[in-house]
Amino acid sequence: MTESRDLLDFYENAPLLELGGEADRIRNEKHPHGVVSYIIDRNINYTNVCVADCGFCAFARRPKHGEGYTLSFEQIGAKIDEAKMLGGVQILIQGGHNPYIPFDWYLDLLRYIKRHHPIHIHGFSPSEVDFFAKLFRMDALTVIRELRAAGLDSIPGGGGEILVQRVRDIVAPKKAGADRWLEIMELAHNEGMKTSVTMMYGLGETAAERLEHLQRVREVQARTGGFTAFICWPLQPENTPTMSHQPKTGAAEYLRTVAISRIVLDNVPNLQSSWVTMGMKIGQIALRFGCNDFGSLMIEENVVSAANTTNRTTT
Residue numbers of the site for ligand SF4 (CB under 6 A)?
50, 52-54, 57, 59-60, 96-97, 127, 175
Toward ligand SF4, which CB reaches closer, 21 or 177?
A: 177
CA-to-CA distance for 51 and 99, rounded, in angstroms?
8
Contact 90, 44 (CB under 8 A): no
In the complex, the smallest distance separating the C-beta of residue 81 from ligand SF4, rounded to whole angstroms, is: 25
User: Regarding beta strands 195-201 and 90-94, do their DSSP bridges make them parallel or antiparallel, or are they unpaired?
Assistant: unpaired
Q: How many other CB atoms are found less than 10 A from the CB of residue 283?
A: 21
Q: Are 311 and 279 in contact (CB under 8 A)?
A: yes
Q: Whose Cβ is closer to ligand SF4: residue 52's or residue 170's?
A: 52
Nearer to ligand SF4, 28 or 242 (CB): 242
CB of 83 to ligand SF4, least distance (A): 21
For residues 227 and 220, the answer to whether their CB atoms sit within 8 Å is yes
What is the smallest separation between the CB atom of 249 and ligand SF4, expressed in angstroms? 18
Closest to ligand SF4 by CB, 59 or 227: 59
Backbone angles phi, psi at 151, to 5 degrees: 135, -5
Helix axes 207-224, 178-190, angle to 10 degrees: 20
Of the two residues 49 and 278, which places its CB atom closer to ligand SF4 in the complex? Answer: 49
Name the nearest CA neighbour of 162 among 4, 55, 30, 66.
55
